[in-house]
Amino acid sequence: MSDIQKSEKFYGRRKGRPLRDRHQKLIETLLPELSADLSAEQVDMEALFGKKPEQVWLEVGFGAGEHLAWQAGRHPELGFIGCEPFINGVARMLAYVEDEGLENVRLHADDARLLMDKLPDASLDRMFVLFPDPWHKKRHNFRRMIGPDNMPRFSRLLKDGGDLIVASDHADYVRWILYYVSTHGDFDWLDEGPGDWYERPEGRPKTRYETKALAGIPHYLHFRRKARS
């Protein structure tokens, strides 16, 4: 059995259509160079990036990589880690890395929890969870990324004052997120009104999903890690 308990079994697609030759080659050659070594007790962040970045930002579920590549290209002084189990999305992100010369990106092509459990305490300055699968059937709610099982992980990993950036277009999931983040107690919700949570923040690209596949009204939620006592 893996490090993830049976109650936290991974759910979701791993692969879609067959990969193009170029994408398959990137999976075989470039992905190993960018992947964190999880065999040690803890990931050495400086060794992972080859130097100590000014900040480290983590995106959980980067999809096709549009947002991750956009951020990494505009912030070369920062280190970026992207987690995505869907191999077709990983392949697209690898193409961005190669085409745009993104030297500050590292990838984890598996369940994000496996990586998060190996990262050091207070090692992240920002975390993104953008349009995660809402698992809209009630019996599947336990599979949601934002919830009681993962809030302790987010709390442990973010530095004091670190940002948790969440977006969802599923109204029930938005209510779920607000409940579990607020009841956890380690985060402040920074949004002050509809003008904050209905408008996509500046400094973020509009992804393909937001353009074509929205199921409802998108909500953009911004939380900040409280100072540890």
Annotated active-site positions, please? 133
Residue 172: left if φ>0, alpha if ψ -120 to 50, beta else—which one?
alpha
Distance from C-alpha of 43 to C-alpha of 177, rounded to nearest angstrom: 28
**Could you tell me if residue 185 is left (phi over 0), alpha (psi between -120 and 50 degrees) or otherwise beta?**
left
What is the distance between the alpha carbons of residues 171 and 199, in angstroms, rounded to a whole number?
A: 15
- What letter does residue 201 receive in the DSSP assignment? P
The DSSP result for 141-192, as a single string, is GGG-SSSTTTHHHHHHHEEEEEEEEEEES-HHHHHHHHHHHHHH-SEEE---
The span from the CA of 211 to the CA of 69, in Å, is: 17
Cα–Cα separations (whole angstroms), residue 63 to 10, 108, 132, 166, 225: 16, 12, 9, 14, 25
The four Cα atoms 116, 120, 121, 123 give a dihedral, to 10 degrees, of: -90
Pairing state between β 105-108 and 79-83: parallel
